Amino acid sequence: MPSDPDVPSLGPTPAPALTPAHDPVRARRQQIARWTQLANRVGYLCFLVALVAYALTFAVGFTGAMSALIVGAVIVGTILLAPAIVLGYAVKAAERDDRERGL
């Protein structure tokens, strides 16, 4: 197709950049970011449940079920949050490194 003489040429067309859908590393990184975000939300929600349950023990009374709820929520929250926070920072650092290198 001949070029239009009225339109200035910008040189050769650059190769299309790999989008996350086409770059398997970035696609996997986005998937990990989504999972860590979900784990963060659920983990912090578990800590909120534990905090509310702890406050309710003073109002309603301390029972074994409330104790189990508090301990269980803290354990689940910790198990979810510890790796999610580390992986979240790793994904952010990898994305920042890619941007700095122009990838």
Domain boundaries of the chain, sorted by first residue: 25-100
State the average pLDDT for the chain: 83
Query: pLDDT at position 11, please?
Result: 52
Closest CA to 87 of 48, 32, 15: 32
Contact of 32 with 87, CB cutoff 8 Å: yes
Whether the per-residue pLDDT at 7 is higher than 70: the answer is no
pLDDT greater at residue 53 or residue 1 = 53
CA separation for the pair 19, 99 (Å, rounded): 13
Q: What is the pLDDT of residue 12?
A: 57
Q: Check if the beta carbon of residue 35 is closer than 8 Å to that of residue 81.
A: no
pLDDT digits (tens, 9 = 90+) for 44-60: 999 999 999 999 998 88
